[in-house]
């Protein structure tokens, strides 16, 4: 890794694990900017690979800028496409996808008045090894939350969005599978840290200090006051997402409301909510499917 590129924390997790909370905390650091979820990184890496193999040349900055600017989340970042393409055109000396991604993230950080950048896209948990090969500076922070609370969170928001219902067994299987995938990939990573959502809520400063040390970032007290600026940061999501392929449209109000809790200090009531909000049948079914993973992670089970 080039000495000029400092470590970049990548927050990954099962969706519904509180990653926006951790994003807001880290983003409150005076050095670090973390954009809204990007989702295009694996696609950009693959596109660069296709060009190298198919055309026998390095992809141009304009070609890779088109991948980012053509993504349905592009407008979340508040960047100018021409400026991004110009920035990317100057990185031909680096591997295509690596230079393009560094150009995007650094441009976003500069817009926020910051010198460093990171990422918060839960689904990158499935692509950590691939991203690490492209961005050696990536340091993966895997936020782990009790799967029963994850299932409640995801089911609640899918209902509000009018998305098709899924069974509790489906949620349990996905949660356990993603935990296993992350731990399997972690054996091939130089930089991987598991962080407990429950500990983040209960002892916020201590956990943040651990994450900062992992990312070679100075801890700042303002990180504990993240909620004072969260509403402003979430304005980036004040737009609807168009449908794309199998992904349905997302209304601006739903996107904002999904992260509204980050405008308040950590809430202990969000820990072990399954004890009061999950009915007995669903709890038993979740534990039947994913009980071994819950136990492995130290979560109590009732069965």
Average pLDDT of every residue of the chain: 92
pLDDT at position 121:
98
User: Per residue of the chain (303 residues), what is the pLDDT tens digit?
Assistant: 444 789 999 999 999 999 999 999 999 999 999 999 999 999 999 999 999 888 888 888 888 999 999 999 999 999 999 999 888 886 654 568 999 999 999 999 999 999 999 999 999 999 999 999 999 999 999 999 999 999 999 998 888 777 788 999 999 999 999 999 999 999 999 999 999 999 999 999 999 999 999 999 999 999 999 999 999 998 888 888 888 776 777 787 777 777 778 888 998 888 999 999 999 999 999 999 999 999 999 999 986
**Three-state SS across 132-161?**
HHHCCCEEEEEEECCHHHHHHHHHHHHHHH
Give the tens place of pLDDT for each residue, 77-124: 999 999 998 888 866 545 689 999 999 999 999 999 999 999 999 999
Give the tens place of pLDDT for each residue, 141-150: 999 999 999 9
Residue 146 backbone phi and psi in degrees, to 5: -50, 125
Q: What's the sign of the alpha-carbon dihedral 302, 292, 280, 269? A: positive
SS3 177: helix
Give the tens place of pLDDT for each residue, 115-128: 999 999 999 999 99
**Distance from C-alpha of 214 to C-alpha of 191, rounded to nearest angstrom:** 8
24 and 114 in contact (C-beta within 8 Å)?
Answer: no
Residue closest to 41 by CA, chosen among 186, 175, 140, 151: 140
Class assignment of domain 1-27+120-237+249-303? alpha beta
**Distance from C-alpha of 97 to C-alpha of 131, rounded to nearest angstrom:** 10
Q: Where are the domains of the chain?
A: 1-27+120-237+249-303, 35-117
**Distance from C-alpha of 263 to C-alpha of 229, rounded to nearest angstrom:** 8
Find the DSSP H helices in 164-279: 168-186, 197-202, 204-214, 227-233, 252-258, 274-277
**Distance from C-alpha of 106 to C-alpha of 85, rounded to nearest angstrom:** 13
pLDDT at position 57:
83
Q: Which residues pair with 241 in a beta bridge?
A: 250
């Amino acid at each position: 890794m080039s000495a000029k590129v400092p470590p970049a924390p990548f927050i990954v997790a099962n969706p519904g694990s509180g990653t926006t909370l951790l994003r807001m905390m880290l983003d409150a650091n005076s050095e670090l900017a973390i954009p809204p979820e990007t989702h295009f990184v694996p696609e950009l890496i693959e596109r660069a690979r296709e060009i190298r193999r198919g055309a026998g040349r390095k992809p141009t900055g304009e070609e890779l800028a088109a991948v980012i600017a053509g993504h349905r989340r592009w407008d979340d970042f508040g960047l100018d496409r021409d400026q991004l393409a110009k920035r990317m055109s100057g990185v031909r000396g680096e591997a295509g996808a690596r230079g393009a991604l560094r150009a995007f993230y650094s441009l976003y950080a500069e817009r926020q008045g910051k010198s460093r950048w990171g990422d918060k896209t839960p689904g990158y948990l499935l692509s950590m090894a691939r991203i690490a090969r492209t961005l050696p500076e990536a340091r993966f922070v895997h936020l782990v939350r009790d799967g029963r609370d994850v299932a409640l969170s995801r089911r609640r928001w899918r209902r509000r969005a009018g998305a098709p219902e899924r069974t509790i067994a489906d949620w349990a299987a996905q949660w356990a599978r993603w935990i296993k995938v992350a731990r399997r990939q972690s054996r091939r990573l130089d930089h991987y840290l598991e962080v407990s959502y429950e500990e983040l809520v209960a002892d916020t400063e201590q956990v943040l200090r651990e994450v900062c040390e992992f990312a070679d970032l100075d801890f700042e007290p303002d990180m504990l006051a993240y909620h004072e600026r969260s509403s402003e940061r979430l304005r980036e999501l004040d737009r609807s997402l168009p449908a794309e392929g199998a992904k349905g449209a997302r209304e601006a109000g739903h996107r904002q409301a999904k992260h509204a809790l980050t405008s308040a200090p950590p809430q202990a009531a969000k820990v072990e909510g399954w004890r009061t909000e999950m009915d007995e049948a669903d709890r038993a079914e979740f534990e039947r499917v994913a009980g071994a993973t819950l136990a492995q992670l130290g979560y109590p089970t009732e069965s």
